[in-house]
């Protein structure tokens, strides 16, 4: 369903993020987890896109399989990096033909093993250029594969605590606004642990004239190791002292760390709901337990009861 229609139906959206497993066994495991997540009735689920190489086809396969075999509405992520315009066009055509309604348009980072990758080979450098291209695709495709006259619903990334590549936070907001001015319909944020960072970001967006809905990214910590991986992957994310103290009190007991992490994420969600957040995007890491526990802690059976 086009994101505009989702927002009309729901005062708060709930969405889950998956990444494409590399093996067949991993894919089967994910579909087992999806069976447990489906009854939670998310507004959409998103599928990440690899930073280059072989995992990209896996994103398309996972998106198509979710679309065919489940009642969930998949939103693929798509990045500028390692792509020519013609390749992006082909991908959009495939998604349009498969009835995909929304796309998360990103710049993407060079893979860790190729930090010096020359981005001048890519047709697009910044997400704003990709957003423009996706918007133009609608016009070129009018009346063909893409049936919705609005074209794809387009999401872009937002960084409540700032993106490390742009230390100038005023300029960074201009770049975010450029994505919206090019036609982005909504923003999904990087994960954060202190809701005050999100509320301040929301206000700064408003002051800058960025008026589209903002969906908050929440990821529960489920282990010490996972927390360190998160710090590595979620560039810029700040771990508040209160959270670190709570984790330290567990003294390495991983079950206790998991309970602390899920409690923290639940409280974040409860507070976000109290502050009329437009949507919550849960980073699931392809597991269902933490997400289900958050719903249970909030006292609801599914997203419909929350919206």
Which residues fall within 8 angstroms of residue 236, CB to CB, at 6 or more apart?
Answer: 159, 161, 162, 163, 164, 190
Q: Rounded to whole angstroms, how far apart are CA atoms 281 and 293?
A: 15
CB of 87 to ligand FAD, least distance (A): 15
Looking at beta carbons only, is 64 or 300 nearer to ligand FAD? 64
Nearest to 131 by CA among 109, 154, 108: 154
Closest separation in Å from C-beta 259 to ligand FAD: 26
Instruction: Report how far residue 276's alpha carbon sits from residue 84's, in angstroms, rounded to the nearest whole number.
Output: 40
Q: What is the DSSP string of 141-166?
A: TTTSS--STT--EEEEEE-TT--TT-
Report the interface residues with ligand FAD, using CB under 6 A: 48-49, 51, 77, 79, 106-109, 126-128, 157, 163, 165-166, 172, 175, 179, 188, 190, 217
What is the closest distance, in whole angstroms, from the C-beta atom of residue 51 to ligand FAD in the complex? 4
Closest CB to ligand FAD among residues 2, 175: 175
Q: For residues 107 and 288, which CB has a smaller minimum distance to ligand FAD in the complex?
A: 107
Q: How far is the CB of 215 from ligand FAD (least distance, A)?
A: 9
The answer to whether 17 is a known catalytic residue is yes
Shortest distance, position 217 Cβ to ligand FAD, whole Å: 6
Give the span between the Cα atoms of 210 and 203, in whole angstroms: 9
Distance set, CA 96 to CA 19, 91, 101, 144, 145 (Å): 21, 9, 8, 9, 6
Catalytic residue, chosen from 17, 161, 182, 293, is 17
52/246 with CB nearer ligand FAD? 52
Chain residue whose CB lies nearest ligand FAD? 107
For ligand FAD, give the closer residue by CB, 165 or 304: 165
103, containing H or E segment: strand 102-106
Q: Give CA–CA dist 217/197, Å, rounded.
A: 12
Phi/psi at 219 (nearest 5 deg)? Answer: -130, 120
Catalytic sites, residue numbers: 17
């Amino acid at each position: 369903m086009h994101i505009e229609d989702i927002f009309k139906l729901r005062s708060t959206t709930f969405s889950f993020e998956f990444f494409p497993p590399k093996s067949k066994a991993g894919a089967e495991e994910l579909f087992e987890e999806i069976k447990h997540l489906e009854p939670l009735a998310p507004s959409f689920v998103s599928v990440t896109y690899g930073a280059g190489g072989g995992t990209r086809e896996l994103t398309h396969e996972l998106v198509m399989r979710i679309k065919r075999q489940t009642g969930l509405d998949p939103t693929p992520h798509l990045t500028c990096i390692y792509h020519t315009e013609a390749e992006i066009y082909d991908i959009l055509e495939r998604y349009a033909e498969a009835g995909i309604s929304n796309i998360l348009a990103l710049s993407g980072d060079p893979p860790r093993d190729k930090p010096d990758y020359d981005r001048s080979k890519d047709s697009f450098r910044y997400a704003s250029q990709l957003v423009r291209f996706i918007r133009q695709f609608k016009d070129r495709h009018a009346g063909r594969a893409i049936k919705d006259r609005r074209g794809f619903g387009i999401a872009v990334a937002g960084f409540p605590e700032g993106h490390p590549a742009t230390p100038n936070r005023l300029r960074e907001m201009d770049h975010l606004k450029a994505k919206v001015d090019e036609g982005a319909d909504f923003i999904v944020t990087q994960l954060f642990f202190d809701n005050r960072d999100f509320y301040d970001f929301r206000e700064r967006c408003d002051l800058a004239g960025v008026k589209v809905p903002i969906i908050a990214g929440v990821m529960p910590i489920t282990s010490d190791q996972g927390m360190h991986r998160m710090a590595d992957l979620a560039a810029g994310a700040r771990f508040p002292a209160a959270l670190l103290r709570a984790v330290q009190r567990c003294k390495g007991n991983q079950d206790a760390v998991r309970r602390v992490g899920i409690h923290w994420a639940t409280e974040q969600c409860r507070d976000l709901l109290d502050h009329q957040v437009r949507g919550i995007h849960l980073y699931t890491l392809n597991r269902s337990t933490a997400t289900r526990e958050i719903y249970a802690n909030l006292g609801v059976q599914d997203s419909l009861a929350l919206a």
